[in-house]
Each structure stands twice: as structure tokens, then as C-alpha cells.
Amino acid sequence: MEHHSDDLPFRAVAQVAHVAVDAQGRLDEVDFDRLLRQHQGKVRLVAITGASNVTGYLNPLHRLAEKAHAAGALFLADCAQLAPHRAVDMRDLADPAHLDFVVLSAHKMYAPYGTGALIGRTDIFEAGEPDVRGGGTVEVVTLDSVAWAGPPDKDEAGSPNVVGAVALALALRELGAIGMPAIARHEAELTAHALRGLRRVSGVRLFGDADPERAAERLGVIPFGLDGASHFLVAAILGHEYGIGVRSGCFCAHPYVLRLLGMDRAQSEASRARILAGDRSEMPGMTRISFGLYNTIEEVDRFLEALSVVAAGGYRGRYQQDPASGEYRPDGWAPDFEAAFPLSSPAAGPG
């Protein structure tokens, strides 16, 4: 169920065993236990998402961490999706259920300037050589030797993103002032309202847990499909005709989405072949709505009204698909990037 960011980097440096998920997309904890037993003594790291960016499922991080530590492994929690919506407690290292590493992304916490954080144990960061080498990572360099700096400098090559770090700190402070419990309550209200409304839209298929009564046990991320309509087309109509931003596709979690869609290996391989041939017109995927702390019940109602129109075929535009990207655009329309983002300077006047 991992985002590619918590999967692909490990494939490059280690043998990776993937834990199964059930048909609803929940982590299969029985399979988790089986893999730990099977690889007892050889597991170096267990990396688990705190919350799925596709279905919003919340994983029992501390229970899984305790099991990982008992098997001799370190434990990393990918909290990029979790941290903007729930408090994260790493706990003391003496606690068997502690988190050794936490990863988060600033842009998901409403901070600009593209930074993030890897928070972890100093003794681990002190060992070994840096992954990215360059200015600022060393104490002294000669033609024959390198003495690396201590953490965190050793692992932060190049000029630091100071303004990004300041922005992240301010965003964290603001989230703390609002209160993570208040954010969770507001999000659960939006999610429950949306799930109830989606049940009334003809042709909608919901993925993951669709029970409004359990909205507080998940994040406000709702993936769905609409019978007879491409996820690309649904997203295009909602955006162009209603100004509603949604995501469509596989959300940087291809294996997870294909599992939720119920695609077997043969279907997956056929889709892969078409995509590699440059044709994404039938790319599998879903449409996803997701809530932030700024969203309102009125906005949810506007989305439900718009989706009902789309489901009934009542949208206004004529849309053409680009097979290379799979995306749809209204016929005869294209964005005027120069008007929105002028890159040229005005012509100089006389004199």
C-alpha cells in the first residue's frame, strides 16, 4: 500500500519483501507477521506508511513497530500523508513500540518552498557515508582523503533550503495552534458527509472503507470510479466546468491501485505494454477527492452536485483525449500560459 517514495528507493539497495493487503486495501497483518518470521534475523528495516494516500487507511504504527523491533529490525514510518491530519508520537527509544524514523513532506503540511524532513536516531546518522556528496558534507578534504561532517550536515549536501525550513516550522506551529484533534474532527465530519452523498450518486463505485460511521478512523481521502467514464474525463469535467480540483490516475501507488481495482497479472501486464508503447488512453486508475483543514461542508455539497451532473451525462463541454497522456481537454480550448505566467519583459518605450 506504499507510495512509490516509500518503496522504490529501497529496491535500489536491498532485497524488498512486500506485505500483502486485503481486497479492501487494508494491511494484512497476518502476512506481516509471516514475513517477519520467514526472514527472522535478516530484516534490517520495516517501512510502513502511516496513512494511505489512496484510501486514507491508518496503520497501527506502534503495534507494527513493536513487532519489527522484536524481529531485530529498525522501523520507519512514512508520515507524509499522516502528519497534516494526525499527531505523530515517536515515543522514547526505551519503549519497544517507538518509531526509529519518521518522514514528512512540507508541502502536504501547507508549507511552500519544497522541503521535508527525515527524523531519526543520531547514532544511525553518525554511521556510514552520505548518500549525496558535495559542499557542506565534509570537515576537510585532501586529494587523498575525506573526513565527513557529523549529522545533520553530512546528509544535507549543497546550500540549505533555509526559507523552506522556516516555512515548515511556521506551518507546524500553526497546525499545533489549531490543534490536531480539532483538525481530525473537522475532517471526519467532511468525510462522513461525502460518503453519505456519494452513495446517492448513480454509478459511483467507492474503494476502501465506505462506511460513514467509521470516518473518524481514517483520513479524508476518498477514491472512486464512475461507471462508463474514464477517471481522466471525470477529473477534467470537474476541473474545467466546476473549478473542483481532484486527482486521477494511480496516485504514485501503482501496485496498490491495481490491487484495489481487482486487476490480475495478465491485465496488469497488458496495461503496462500499452503505456510503454505511448498509449495511456485506457490507463487504469481512479478519481480521488481529499480534504484539508480549509474545506467546508458547502464545498462537499458542490462536489456532490457536480458529480451527479457528470454521472447523468449533463456536462456542457466536448472533450478530446490525448492518448499520450490519457488526459482530456475541452475541444477548442487550451490554457493561455503566457497570460497567466508572463515570461517576457514588456517592450521598452521610447526615450
Amino acid occupying residue 6: D
Q: Which residues pair with 75 in a beta bridge?
A: 46
SS3 152: coil
Looking up cell 549536501 gives: 157
**Selected catalytic residue, list 252, 263, 275, 309:** 252
* CA distance readout (Å), 170 to 64, 174, 248: 31, 6, 31
SS3 223: strand
Count CB neighbours of 289 within 10 A: 24
* Largest Cα span, the chain: 81
* CA distance readout (Å), 153 to 88, 116, 129, 138, 173: 25, 15, 12, 8, 24
313 is written with which cell numbers? 451525462
Annotated catalytic, 250? Answer: no
Strand ranges inside 162-297, DSSP E = 204-206, 221-226, 247-249, 286-290
Which residues are catalytically annotated? 252
